[in-house]
Amino acid sequence: MPDTTLQAAPSPAPLTTFSEDEILFRDNVRQFAEDKIRPIVKEMDEKGVFDKDLIHDFFQLGLMAIEIPEQYGGGGGKFFEAILAVEELSRVDASAGVVVDVQNTLVNNALLRWATEEQKKRYLPRMASQLCGAYALSEAGSGSDAFALQTRAELKGSDYVLNGHKLWITNAKEAGLFILFATVDPAAGYKGITAFIVEKDFSGFTVGKKEDKLGIRASSTCELILEDCHVPDANVLGEVGKGYRIAIETLNEGRIGIGAQMAGVARGAWEYASKYAQERRQFGKAIAEFQGIQFQLAQMATEVEAARLMVYNAARMKDAGVNFVKEAAMTKLFCSQVAERVTSLAIEIYGGYGFTKDYPVEKYWRDSKIGKIYEGTSNMQLATIAKLVLGGK
């Protein structure tokens, strides 16, 4: 088998954007990814299964509860730190990045912002120590039109009874808790949408088929089946009929996480391509000595750096409490474009070798494609950006 280890030092982030604690945190996550994840990336991808021991390690390292306050057993950190973790993990394996991303930017964030104190006391300590989370919005007929969902919730006594199907739910196989959206009144349109905290062992709840995907194969993506699923009314997240607001505002944060994933994927591919170009010899010299290859690597490096800075800026804005909706949409749009371009060029720099599974760059390209699709397609990001820059709502 060819040597696919990465010896070249990773490209540093601009130090002016980091505190000493953030640098230490980033470097620790990077080292963990190199030592524990990289050796099993290929195996996980081929099997399409995420290693359970890694999830245990994520909890032990505090990566699944970065923003959860210390009083609930979390790290009490900032959103920016969660984004750094997602980027560093995705640089090695996008599947690892998305496990941590969904947990922090979607599920934990939704609970921190919208849960009652009683709900926080019940769930946040478990989210910090052992419980994986998933975010269940999409259905067969509601993708970009997220509020066309058909899953129904009817109040019967002290329980809501949920019926319907969810599709494309990330982390579904590993998750024990789901932020799940259903409508209490289809006639009310988006104003009937309500968010529920659903536990995996609730009666009538089943995790269905696991999708066989192009990329992020180790990350589970499954359907959810709700057949008279009983959810206590105490598990309504936020207010009845206000689930649309939870969905929109949580996904705005999640899009920065997708940007971090894609920036990490692009970085990982660039580092491999740069190292290979300095080792591969043709016509008596390393191909990195040819100006055509140099220019490609320079363009790739420039776009990767721009993508990372967009991610960091959007995350800093979120932590500062200023409006970041436009920046989040731009970040997801641009970073997914960069990831697809850079990973594709990395394959070309490897030549025929890059087209085989014996070398790592083809996986980066496969993993990059989802960035333009989930948590809002590129067209939806463009629509959001257009409205905001042109003065619309």
Tokens 């070398």 -> residue:
359
Catalytic member of 223, 253, 327, 375 = 375
Integer Cα distance of 361 and 2 in angstroms: 13
Is residue 160 within 8 Å of 196, Cβ to Cβ?
A: yes
3-state class (DSSP) for residue 196: strand
123 touches 136 (CB < 8 A):
no
Radius of gyration of the chain measured on its C-alpha atoms: 21
Fill in the amino acid letter for 3. Answer: D
CA distance 202 to 229: 7
Question: Where do the H-state alpha helices sit in the chain?
Answer: 20-32, 41-47, 52-61, 79-92, 94-101, 109-114, 117-129, 243-279, 291-320, 325-350, 361-368, 378-389
375 counts as catalytic: yes
Tokens 């699709």, residue?
Answer: 373
Backbone angles phi, psi at 207, to 5 degrees: -90, 120
Q: 163 and 196 in contact (C-beta within 8 Å)?
A: no
Please state, in angstroms and rounded to a whole number, the distance separating the CA atoms of residues 233 and 137. 19
Compute the distance between CA of residue 141 and CA of residue 144 in angstroms, rounded to an integer.
Answer: 9
Helix, coil or strand: residue 132: coil
Tell me if 226 sits within 8 A of 55, measured CB to CB: no
Smallest Cα–Cα separation from 376: which of 224, 223, 254?
Answer: 254
What is the rounded CA–CA span in Å between residue 68 and residue 124? 7
CA–CA gap between residue 80 and residue 50 (Å, rounded): 25
Nearest to 69 by CA among 8, 115, 27: 115
**What is the number of other CB atoms lying within 10 angstroms of the CB of residue 35?**
10
Q: Among all residues, which ones are annotated catalytic?
A: 375
